[in-house]
Amino acid sequence: MAGVDKCILCGKCRADSALLRVTGKEMLTARGKALLIMKGILDKVFYIDPLNDVTVRSCPTNVEISEEVRKQRERLVENGIETKANRRMIDNIREFGNPYGSLEKKDIKEVYS
Ligand code: SF4
């Protein structure tokens, strides 16, 4: 598997991007994220990713975009940039030992990945 420096911006990963099909946003494809990383742009968009390796299948240079996204998430956290859902999930794990909070409520409305 290769790092984002091996991305040749060919766009083949667009065909496998469910996020692109649903949202129409190029930024959510592996190529879009690779471009952000190459330009040094740290954006919450890196939290919008299923972290699966579907796009790797079509990538001619075997860019492992999920690993690159994980690294960007680490940078986001190090810079104090997080989502409300992430903060809630972390607080719930610390307080209740699971990401959903009190299981006695039985009204789980959010699922985290
Ligand atoms: S398929 Fe691979 S090389 Fe092509 S744009 Fe996507 S991540 Fe880059």
pLDDT at residue number 108: 65
What is the Cα Rg of the chain in Å? 16
Determine the atom of ligand 1 nearest the C-alpha atom of 29: 6
Per residue in 25-78, pLDDT (tens digit) is 999 899 999 999 999 999 999 988 766 655 567 889 999 888 899 999 999 999
Question: What is the spatial distance between Cα 52 and Cα 56, in angstroms, rounded to a whole number?
Answer: 9
Q: What is the number of other CB atoms lying within 10 angstroms of the CB of residue 91?
A: 12
Kindly give the distance from the C-alpha atom of residue 50 to the centroid of ligand 1, in angstroms, as a whole number.
Answer: 17
Residue 69 near ligand 1, beta carbon < 6 Å: no
Tokens 């690159």 identify what position?
Answer: 68
Residue 106 pLDDT level (bands cut at 50, 70, 90): low
Residue 105 pLDDT level (bands cut at 50, 70, 90): low
Residue 63 near ligand 1, beta carbon < 6 Å: yes
Residue 7 near ligand 1, beta carbon < 6 Å: yes
Question: What is the spatial distance between Cα 86 and Cα 74, in angstroms, rounded to a whole number?
Answer: 13
